[in-house]
Structures are given as structure tokens and as C-alpha cells.
Amino acid sequence: MTIMKELHQEHRNLKRLLEMLERKVERFRAGTHPNFQLMSDVVSYVGGYADTQHHPREDRMLAYFQGRDTELDNMMKACEDEHAELKQLSTHLNDSIDGVLHDAAVVPLDSLIDALAEFVQRESEHLDFEESKLFPKIEAIAGDKDWTTLEQELPSPTDPLFGLKQSDEYRDLYQALVDDERVG
């Protein structure tokens, strides 16, 4: 069941970044001036990885299980809709942060903080939904033959360039967040 293990691992990694981002947003709301560049890097990395790697792979896996179970079909439809909504949310947020970073747009601080908080909450809720409901349902329905087929159709993305687990970008970003938390 390699594909599921990889998706679970990606959820854990994304969740870790989101939890750190959440703490930053709380401090930002409390009045601490944030490291905007770092926030921007985290949002674009989490959003970018989810939108271009993680969710498309999930979508292809969901398409494979289409029509097997009505309850699962409904959950999968909700999940695909969320992928589309999250993509819009992350694109919009990235544009807002870019505007602030490059002084190209006047974004009220409160609405930027709210948008960041919403991004963290929606991405986290999505991960929680998949971990607690969707994935257990798929795992209950799928058999060995399905996983063998899926392994062939959806090859592992974890090559050194794109893999979330091994990616240098992920490690550097995580370390930068840890360092930034120490500074305050």
C-alpha cells in the first residue's frame, strides 16, 4: 500500500508546516511583526505542493475508485470540490502576500491575517477529513489488486526533486521556521 503511505506521510509533513504557520499567524495577530518573506515561502510551498503534486495525485486515485460505493462517491465529490476551492484560496492568498512584499497593493493588515488564518484552517480541516474519513473508507473498500494497479498508474512522486519527504526545499523551509520560532 505504498501510495497510501506516501499520501499519509505528505499529510504529516504538510500538517507540521501548517501548525508552525498557525503559531505565526497568532503572533502576527497579537502584534508581532512577522517575517513576511518566510510566511510567503511557507504559503507558496504548502499551497504549491498541495495544488500541483499532492491533490492531483489524490484526484487520480479517487477517479479510480469512482462508482464502487455511494457513500465513498459522495465523500470523493466533496474532496474534489475542496481541492478546487483550496487552489483558489492559495492563489488568492499568494497574490495578496506578493502585493504586500512588493508594495504593489495596499492590503489591510486585518484582512491579510484573516486570509492567512483561513488558509491554515481550511488546509488543516481538509487533511483531517481525508485522514479520519476518506482514507479509512478507501482502505476498507480497496483490495490488493487495486493497489497493484494504482502503483502502476500513479508512480511515486518521491524522487529527490519533487518528493516532499526528501525535498531539500521542505527541509530548508522547516529549519527556517524552527530558527524563526527561536528568535521570537
User: Which chain residues interact with Fe ion by CB under 5 A?
Assistant: 55, 58, 130
User: How far apart, in whole angstroms, are the C-alpha atoms of residue 95 and residue 79?
Assistant: 24
Q: How far is the CB of 58 from Fe ion (least distance, A)?
A: 5
Q: Provide the total of helices (H) and of strands (E) in the chain, helices listed first.
A: 8, 0
Q: How far is the CB of 24 from Fe ion (least distance, A)?
A: 22
Of 98 and 118, the one with the shorter C-beta distance to Fe ion is: 118
Q: How far is the CB of 101 from Fe ion (least distance, A)?
A: 28
CB 96 within 8 A of CB 118: no
Run of H or E including 168:
helix 168-183
Question: Could you identify the residue written with the cell 483550496?
Answer: 86
The C-alpha cell that represents 135 in the structure block: 482514507
Of 85 and 181, the one with the shorter C-beta distance to Fe ion is: 85
Of 51 and 58, the one with the shorter C-beta distance to Fe ion is: 58
Of 78 and 101, the one with the shorter C-beta distance to Fe ion is: 78
Q: How far is the CB of 16 from Fe ion (least distance, A)?
A: 14
User: How far apart, in whole angstroms, are the C-alpha atoms of residue 107 and residue 117?
Assistant: 15
The angle at the Cα of 170, spanning 133 to 178, to the nearest 5 degrees, equals 95
Q: How far is the CB of 166 from Fe ion (least distance, A)?
A: 18
Of 114 and 128, the one with the shorter C-beta distance to Fe ion is: 128
